């Protein structure tokens, strides 16, 4: 009898031991939520955001006011019991349990990320209403608005190491699957309105798939495939699981995702209790949208409406190149301060016509055609078109404004002779035209920025390309070279005779030298006993004096040229006794 009784006691003890061991192996979900620990916590890339860049950003500096309390006052100690109480008091549908992992993320925000939270609080003044509207339209819990805090730190231009982009950090494949436009000019992953709508739709689909918000949030981070695999490894019925029951079967980064979401909800509601600066708006944050169906650049909008380009970029980060590629088939949404919407509609034509040639897209192009920006100067340079005549070029020089000339290379010209002609250096021409070598070809078009009224005017006035001419055939060219005038038509100064010799510079030709001194190529060759046109840099040439009769004949020919010749010249023709030396010419330039 005793033997049977002892056996019964041992059996009962054994069963109790097995039951205890089984209970230790499979604790219930409620115990896991509150007691789980993890020493291998992985913080997301959003924690590594450039906080200084956020705080110094255009929006924070122009739209918000904050103080440095987060720097001067410490984070007070808060007990676990108090944090449990605060999380339980949040008005949320999604469960917000507390454990060691959640605590680690809260501490990361409130102790080491205080400046980042101050910046995020400032940005939230603009972004949170957008998120709330998108979630409300889909009937989703509004606490999901803090997911972008976890994903991107409220930076619409955030790009992860894996290529996830925007406030909601969509991968390219996911974005296109959700109908977002992504190309070289437009990336709707960065659009706060469109991306928020697609994110809300995606979250709704994930919740319908799992019926549990913790699993839906985790799936948003790593994808449904990873979650389904973790559920299979955990065993049991799929609907019996939540995030915490499959925690140990998830990748390290996803294990911290839901705890971080809980921490974001905590800190965005209880930041004052941790001495983090409250941020207040200093400007009304009322924005509105309009549809743009024309191609327009931010600079055009900025110039007409007097809106800083930085503000346009903050409000419209989806336009990657500051260009809205609107057309008849597709209109794009432009976000502006509400008071500027009416101004845009009233000035729409002025905006599209502002620097239209500069920002126009060429439909067809001919080989050798000069781009529009070669003829129309950039914003720092005034535009002086060729058809306005040399008086306007002279006016440009008088006002200290450079004029942009398009010069077509003629036979016998070199880079150095062209540079000397316009009073610039060869290196400046090379830089303006992206030339790697000093060689130029006949017919090549060069853009030259110069402040010389005389030479610029002759370049603009002559419609035919420059050709090597005889002295009698180039009188118009020589007159603009040898004369001295001003835009007011004042009398010219007296001149001195030509120098007797000229030292040949690299790149010079007989044609350029003869034009420089107002003599013919034949006279120059005769004076130096030359039978060919070959020159050697460094050698000296004798410069023959121009005869009085030739000068008088040239002057008479110039005067008899009629009104058309006088209109092209900025001064009167001088006789041989009033010729300037080359040093005087350079001084006038």
SS3 per residue for 255-286 = HCHHHHHHHHHHHHHHHHHHCCCCCEECCCCC
First vs last C-alpha separation in the chain? 129
Its sign, for the CA torsion 483, 484, 487, 489, is negative
Can you tell me the distance from the alpha carbon of 6 to that of 393, in angstroms, rounded to the nearest whole number? 119
DSSP 182: B
- The domain spans of the chain are 50-281, 287-359
| 445 in Cβ contact with 499 (< 8 Å) | no
CA-angle at 191, arms to 60 and 287, nearest 5°: 55
Can you tell me the distance from the alpha carbon of 360 to that of 254, in angstroms, rounded to the nearest whole number? 47
* Residue among 456, 411, 461, 418 nearest 561 (CA): 461
Its sign, for the CA torsion 476, 482, 488, 489, is negative
* Residue among 220, 167, 161 nearest 191 (CA): 167
Which pTM does this prediction carry?
0.58
Which segments of 26-79 does DSSP mark as H helices, in order? 29-35, 51-55, 58-63, 69-72
Structure tokens at 483: 């004369």
- Which pLDDT score is estimated for 422? 82
- Close Cβ partners of 32 (under 8 Å, ≥ 6 residues apart): 244, 245, 247
Q: Are strands 501-503 and 540-542 parallel, antiparallel or unpaired?
A: antiparallel
- Residue length, the chain? 589
* Residue among 131, 134, 186 nearest 154 (CA): 131
Structure tokens at 199: 């994110």
Can you tell me the distance from the alpha carbon of 143 to that of 261, in angstroms, rounded to the nearest whole number? 9
CA-angle at 411, arms to 385 and 530, nearest 5°: 135
- Which pLDDT score is estimated for 470? 34
Q: Are strands 280-281 and 287-292 parallel, antiparallel or unpaired?
A: unpaired
**Torsions phi, psi for 449 (to 5 deg):** -100, 120
Q: In 311-435, at which residue ranges do the beta strands (DSSP E only) sit?
A: 323-325, 332-337, 403-408
- Close Cβ partners of 172 (under 8 Å, ≥ 6 residues apart): 163, 165, 182
| 539 in Cβ contact with 505 (< 8 Å) | no
Structure tokens at 289: 């949208």
* Residue among 186, 173, 167 nearest 330 (CA): 186
Tokens 């077509």 sit on residue: 408
- Strand, helix or coil for residue 123: helix
| 551 in Cβ contact with 559 (< 8 Å) | no
DSSP 108: I
Structure tokens at 360: 């126009």
- Which pLDDT score is estimated for 180? 96
Residues of the chain falling short of pLDDT 70: 1-60, 63, 66, 284, 369-403, 451-499, 507, 546-589
**Torsions phi, psi for 502 (to 5 deg):** -140, 125
Task: Count CB neighbours of 430 within 10 A.
Answer: 17
Structure tokens at 101: 């992992």
Task: Count CB neighbours of 45 within 10 A.
Answer: 17
Cα 21 to the chain's mean position, in Å?
Answer: 63
**Torsions phi, psi for 381 (to 5 deg):** -120, 135
DSSP 334: E
- Strand, helix or coil for residue 414: coil
CA-angle at 158, arms to 286 and 87, nearest 5°: 75
* Residue among 315, 225, 266 nearest 108 (CA): 266
- Which pLDDT score is estimated for 286? 83
For the packed helices 213-222 and 192-210, what is the interaxial angle rounded to 10 degrees? 120
**Residue range 50-281, CATH number:** 1.10.530.10
Structure tokens at 42: 């992985």
Can you tell me the distance from the alpha carbon of 137 to that of 365, in angstroms, rounded to the nearest whole number? 48
| 98 in Cβ contact with 257 (< 8 Å) | no
| 476 in Cβ contact with 454 (< 8 Å) | no
Cα 104 to the chain's mean position, in Å?
Answer: 38
Cα 493 to the chain's mean position, in Å?
Answer: 51
- Strand, helix or coil for residue 181: coil
């Amino acid at each position: 009898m005793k033997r049977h009784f002892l056996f019964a006691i041992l059996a009962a003890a054994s069963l109790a031991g097995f039951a205890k061991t089984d209970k230790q192996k499979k604790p219930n979900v409620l115990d896991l939520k509150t007691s789980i620990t993890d020493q291998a916590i992985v913080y997301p890339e959003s924690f590594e955001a450039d906080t200084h860049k956020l705080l110094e950003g255009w929006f924070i500096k122009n739209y918000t006011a904050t103080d440095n309390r987060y720097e001067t006052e410490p984070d007070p100690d808060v007990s676990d019991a108090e944090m449990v109480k605060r999380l339980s008091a949040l008005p949320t549908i999604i469960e917000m349990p507390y454990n060691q992992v959640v605590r680690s993320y809260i501490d990361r925000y409130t102790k080491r990320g205080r400046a980042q939270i101050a910046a995020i609080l400032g940005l939230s003044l603009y972004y949170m209403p957008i998120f709330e509207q998108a979630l409300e339209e889909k009937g989703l819990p509004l606490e999901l608005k803090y997911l972008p805090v976890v994903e991107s730190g409220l930076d619409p231009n955030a790009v992860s190491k894996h290529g996830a982009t925007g406030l909601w950090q969509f991968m390219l494949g996911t974005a296109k699957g959700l109908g977002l436009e992504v190309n070289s000019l437009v990336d709707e992953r960065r659009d706060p309105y469109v991306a928020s709508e697609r994110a809300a739709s995606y979250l709704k689909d994930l919740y319908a798939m799992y019926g549990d918000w913790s699993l839906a949030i985790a799936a948003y981070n790593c994808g449904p495939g990873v979650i389904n695999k973790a559920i299979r490894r955990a065993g049991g019925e799929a609907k019996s699981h939540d995030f915490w029951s499959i925690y140990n079967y998830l990748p390290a980064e996803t294990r911290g995702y839901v705890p971080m979401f809980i921490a974001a909800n905590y800190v965005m509601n209880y930041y004052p209790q941790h001495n983090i600066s409250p941020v207040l708006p200093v400007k009304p944050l009322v924005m509105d949208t309009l549809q743009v169906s024309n191609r327009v650049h931010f600079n055009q909008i900025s110039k007409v409406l007097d809106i800083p380009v930085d503000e346009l970029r903050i409000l419209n980060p989806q336009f990657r190149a500051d260009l809205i590629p609107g057309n008849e088939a597709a209109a794009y949404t432009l976000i502006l301060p509400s008071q500027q919407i009416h101004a845009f509609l009233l000035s729409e034509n002025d905006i599209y016509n502002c620097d239209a040639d500069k920002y126009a897209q060429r439909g067809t192009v001919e080989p050798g055609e000069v781009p529009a920006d070669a003829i129309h100067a950039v914003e720092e340079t005034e535009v002086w078109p060729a058809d306005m005549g040399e008086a306007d070029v002279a006016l440009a020089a008088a006002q200290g404004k450079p004029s942009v000339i398009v010069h077509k290379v003629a036979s016998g010209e070199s880079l150095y002779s062209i540079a000397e002609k316009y009073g610039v250096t060869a290196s400046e021409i090379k830089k303006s035209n992206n030339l790697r070598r000093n060689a130029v070809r006949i017919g090549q078009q060069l853009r030259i920025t110069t402040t010389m009224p005389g030479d610029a005017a002759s370049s603009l006035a002559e419609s035919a390309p420059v050709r090597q001419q005889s002295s009698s055939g180039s009188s118009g060219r020589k007159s603009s070279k040898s004369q001295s005038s001003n835009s007011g038509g004042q009398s010219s100064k007296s001149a001195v005779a030509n120098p007797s010799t000229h030292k040949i510079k690299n790149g010079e030709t007989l044609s350029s030298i003869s034009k420089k001194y107002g003599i013919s190529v034949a006279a120059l060759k005769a004076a130096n006993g030359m039978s060919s046109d070959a020159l050697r840099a460094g050698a000296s040439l004798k410069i023959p004096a121009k005869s009085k009769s030739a000068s008088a004949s040239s002057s008479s020919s110039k005067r008899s040229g009629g009104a058309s010749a006088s209109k092209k010249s900025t001064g009167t023709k001088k006789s041989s006794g009033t010729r300037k030396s080359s040093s005087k010419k350079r001084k006038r330039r």
